[in-house]
Structure formats: structure tokens, C-alpha cells
């Protein structure tokens, strides 16, 4: 029998996770919760999804001619697990309701870590989430960091990681966010919160990150500097990266910008031009003995989608091993295949 899943919050992350759930052989998407009958609700209706809302908002939906299947409570009565993709810090306000229905919940990186029993990345700590009631999929930047750190950790114990993060200012639809000009230190005094968030998963890792925000919507860029416990070669690093799920290598001679990368994803038919992988520039890999530097792109709207699917499998114990869940998720989403 398929696990029944609901999604609370059908925005940038929620709509993508809902779509991904509908592709899984072991999951059924029961419906999505929208609070407002806006253009994103229209997209859900056109995609044939069942819409649920808050009791007090039903009339507003009907006034717009949108059929509502029930309330959030009705959805919770019909599912085994809920993915909370409401805005940052809103998810925590729903936790009591999920608890009162004894439903497992997968939260997002905009929540404080204590919303959940485990902060999650499929490659790093799938096993810790097995059977848990509340799991938090870490944010887009943290997911990107953890995947690459995981890949490099297969070569050698890591002494330290130092990272510089160039953050996109907003997602395409976020018409009220900025900056539209200038580069903003985020924050001026390091570390940026990304390193602290990595430490919610890899508690003992010595990591510091600096971040700046730039006026783009396309993707983040990270440059990392590792110090390892042994000397390695660039071929070893490239092999470790290309053998890691959800990491793609690209040639800087062909692609040297996030703009070309996202356009290529559109050209090759990725849904919404989504890129679920870390895209590492192979030419950026620089090795000097025990030091490794590299640069990669993170498509913020898409990178956590596969992790949400694996988090559902972990809490429901659909697969006991990370690699088994990752394989199903990645096949269903065409991960790595579109560019290899
Ligand atoms: P979003 O604003 O695009 O979507 C949130 C959705 O929740 C919208 O449909 C909104 O209408 C709905 N909503 C608002 N208030 C609500 C409420 N009280 N109850 C139920 N639904 C409500 O946000 P998003 O970018 O999808 O972010 C969701 C979560 O994912 C956040 O924790 C965020 O930090 C995290 N996240 C976002 C990104 C990104 O780049 N956008 C990347 C990784 C993680």
C-alpha cells in the first residue's frame, strides 16, 4: 500500500515537493493546503490537485469558484505524513495540530532546528531519521554544503571547511524582496548561519562560512576550501564528486554562469528549469596537497525536493537504507541523467 502524503503550503517548495510525491511508486499525494485562492492555487487546480484550506478561508475560495475538498484537519485525517512547506517559522505554529492528529511531519529549513528531532540530509544522516515523528530538511544552501562535504569526506577525514556563499536575492516570484542593486554582506560579521546549520547535522565539523546576497534569482554559488587529513589528487576529488548521488560536474569551458546553466536545464526539458543537483565546475577543483578548493551552483528552488522525498521514506520506514531511497527518488526525478 502506498503511503498517503499531504502538503501544507503550496509555494516554491511545496509545489515542487507535491509534484515529486506524485511520481513516487510508494507514495500517494492526497492533497495540498492553500491559505489563499491566489495564482498558485490556480496552478494547483489546473494540475488536478485536491485543494484543502483553513476553515475560516473556505468562503473566500468558493467566492473565486475554487472547489475545496476540506480543511487542514480533513487532510490530516486522510494522510500518514504531512510535508510542511509553509513560510519560515510558520511551520512551527502548526506542529501542535500535527501532534494532535498523531501525524508525522517533514519541516523545511526556514524552521528552527528544535522544531524536529533531526535535521536531515539524505546522504549524511538518513538513518537518524528512520521512524522519527518530526524531521527538518535543512535549507537549500545547507543541503548544497552537506552533499559536497559528504563527497569529500569519502576521501579523507576533513580538518576544516571554509566557505564563501553568494546568495540569490529572491526567488523569481518574490516581487517584494531585494536587493535589486548592490551586494549585501549577510551578515557583516561571520559566520553566516549556513555553517551553524551544517553543524545541526555534522555536529563536530570545523566549518565557517561567509555570505553575501546579490541581485539574481537564478541560483546560489558556493566556493569551499577544505583542509584534509591527507594529501589527495584532483582526479580523486573529481571521482569522489562524480560518484556521489546528486552531484553533477560541468565543464567551465562550456558553461561559466548560473544563467547558462538554468537556460540549459530549460532547453533539456527539466520541469520549470529545475536543477536538483549540486553543479560543480570540474575546472574549479584546485588541489594543493591536503587543501582542496572548488565551486558549485545550487538551484535554491529545487535542491531540497529530493531530500523531502527521502525524508518521507525515512520517517515512514519505507526504506531502511539511504541508498535504496535515493535510488528510487533520483530515478523518478531524472536526477543526473539529463546532463550525463
Ligand atoms: P513560499 O512563500 O513560496 O510558500 C509558502 C506557501 O505557504 C505559500 O503557498 C503560502 O501561501 C503558504 N502559506 C502562507 N502562510 C501560511 C499559513 N499560515 N498556513 C499555511 N500555508 C501558508 O515559501 P517557500 O520558498 O516555498 O519556503 C517554504 C519553506 O521552505 C521555508 O521554510 C523556506 O525557508 C524553505 N526553503 C525555501 C527555499 C527557497 O529558495 N524558496 C529553499 C529551501 C528551503
**Confidence grade of residue 17 (pLDDT, cut at 50, 70, 90):** very high
The answer to whether 287 and 237 are in contact (CB under 8 A) is yes
Q: How many C-beta atoms lie closer than 10 Å to residue 160's C-beta?
A: 13
Q: Rounded CA gap, 247 and 14, in Å?
A: 23
Pick the catalytic residue from 27, 79, 129, 140.
140
Measured CA to CA, the distance from residue 159 to residue 8 in angstroms comes to: 40
CA distance 247 to 60: 44
Nearest alpha carbon to residue 147 among 112, 122, 119: 122
- Which residue in this structure is represented by grid cell 565539523? 205
The answer to whether 3-138+304-333 and 140-298 have equal CATH topology is no
Angle CA 193–199–203, to nearest 5: 160
Q: Ligand 1, closest atom to CA 10?
A: 9
Ligand 1 center–CA 10 separation, angstroms: 7
Judge whether residue 230 has pLDDT over 90: yes
Quickly count: other Cβ atoms within 10 Å of residue 62's Cβ: 12
Q: How far is the CA of 58 from the centre of ligand 1 (A)?
A: 20
Task: Give SS3 for 166.
Answer: strand
Alpha helices in 85-175 (DSSP H): 91-100, 122-125, 140-153
Determine the pLDDT at residue 168.
98
Per-residue pLDDT, averaged over 209-238, amounts to 98
Q: Take atom 34 of ligand 1 and give the residue whose Cα is closest.
A: 110
Closest Cα partner for 223 from 261, 167, 178, 301? 167
- Give the pLDDT confidence of 270-291 residue by residue, as tens digits: 999 999 999 999 999 999 999 9
| CATH of segment(s) 140-298 | 3.30.360.10
Note if 140 is an active site residue.
yes
- Whether residue 340 has pLDDT greater than 90: no
Q: For the segment 110-160, what is each residue's pLDDT rounded down to a tens digit? A: 999 999 999 999 999 999 999 999 999 999 999 999 999 999 999 999 999
The residue extents of the domains of the chain are 3-138+304-333, 140-298
β partners of residue 137: 120
Q: What is the pLDDT of residue 329?
A: 98
Q: Ligand 1 pocket: which residues have CB below 6 Å? A: 8-14, 33-36, 40, 85-88, 90, 108-111, 139-140, 171, 300-301, 304
Burial (0-12, 13-18, 19+ Cβ within 10 Å), 96: exposed
Q: Three-state DSSP class for 198?
A: helix
Beta bridge partner(s), residue 82: 6, 105
15 C-alpha vs ligand 1 centroid, how far in Å? 10
pLDDT tens column, 60-74: 999 999 999 999 999
Using DSSP bridges, classify how beta strands 278-281 and 247-250 pair: parallel, antiparallel or unpaired.
parallel
pLDDT surpasses 90 at 13: yes
Computed over every residue of the chain, the mean pLDDT equals: 98
Class of domain 3-138+304-333: alpha beta
Mean per-residue pLDDT for 249-260? Answer: 97
Q: What is the pLDDT of residue 274?
A: 98
In this predicted structure, what is the pLDDT of residue 321?
A: 98
Amino acid at each position: 500500500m502506498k503511503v498517503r502524503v499531504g502538503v501544507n503550503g503550496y509555494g516554491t517548495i511545496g509545489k515542487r515537493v507535491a509534484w515529486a510525491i506524485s511520481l513516487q511508486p510508494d507514495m500517494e499525494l492526497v492533497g495540498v493546503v492553500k491559505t489563499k485562492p491566489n495564482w498558485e492555487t490556480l496552478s494547483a487546480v489546473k494540475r488536478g490537485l485536491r485543494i484543502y484550506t483553513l476553515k475560516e478561508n473556505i468562503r473566500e475560495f468558493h467566492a473565486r469558484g475554487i472547489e475545496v475538498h476540506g480543511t487542514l484537519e480533513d487532510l490530516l485525517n486522510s494522510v500518514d505524513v504531512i510535508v510542511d512547506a509553509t513560510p519560515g517559522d510558520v511551520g512551527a505554529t502548526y506542529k501542535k495540530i500535527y501532534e494532535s492528529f498523531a501525524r508525522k511531519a517533514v519541516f523545511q529549513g526556514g524552521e528552527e532546528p528544535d522544531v524536529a528531532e533531526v535535521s536531515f540530509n539524505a546522504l549524511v544522516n538518513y538513518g537518524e531519521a528512520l521512524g522519527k515523528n518530526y524531521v527538518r530538511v535543512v535549507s537549500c544552501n545547507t543541503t548544497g554544503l552537506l552533499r559536497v562535504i559528504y563527497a569529500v569526506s569519502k576521501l579523507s577525514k576533513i580538518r576544516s571547511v571554509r566557505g564563501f556563499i553568494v546568495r540569490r536575492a529572491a526567488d523569481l516570484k518574490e516581487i517584494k524582496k531585494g536587493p535589486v542593486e548592490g551586494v549585501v554582506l549577510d551578515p557583516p560579521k561571520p559566520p553566516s548561519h549556513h555553517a551553524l546549520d551544517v553543524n545541526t547535522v555534522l555536529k563536530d565539523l570545523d566549518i565557517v562560512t561567509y555570505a553575501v546576497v546579490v541581485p539574481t534569482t537564478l541560483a546560489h554559488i558556493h566556493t569551499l576550501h577544505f583542509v584534509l587529513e591527507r594529501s589527495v589528487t584532483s582526479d580523486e576529488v573529481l571521482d569522489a564528486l562524480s560518484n556521489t548521488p546528486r552531484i553533477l560536474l560541468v565543464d567551465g569551458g562550456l558553461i561559466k554562469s548560473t544563467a547558462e546553466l538554468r537556460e540549459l536545464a530549460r532547453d533539456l526539458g527539466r520541469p520549470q528549469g529545475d536543477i536538483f543537483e549540486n553543479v560543480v565546475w570540474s575546472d574549479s577543483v584546485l588541489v594543493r596537497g591536503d587543501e582542496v578548493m572548488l565551486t558549485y551552483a545550487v538551484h535554491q528552488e529545487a535542491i531540497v525536493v529530493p531530500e523531502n522525498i527521502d525524508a518521507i521514506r525515512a520517517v515512514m520506514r519505507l526504506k531502511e537504507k539511504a541508498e535504496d531511497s535515493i535510488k528510487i527518488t533520483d530515478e523518478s526525478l531524472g536526477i543526473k541523467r539529463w546532463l550525463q
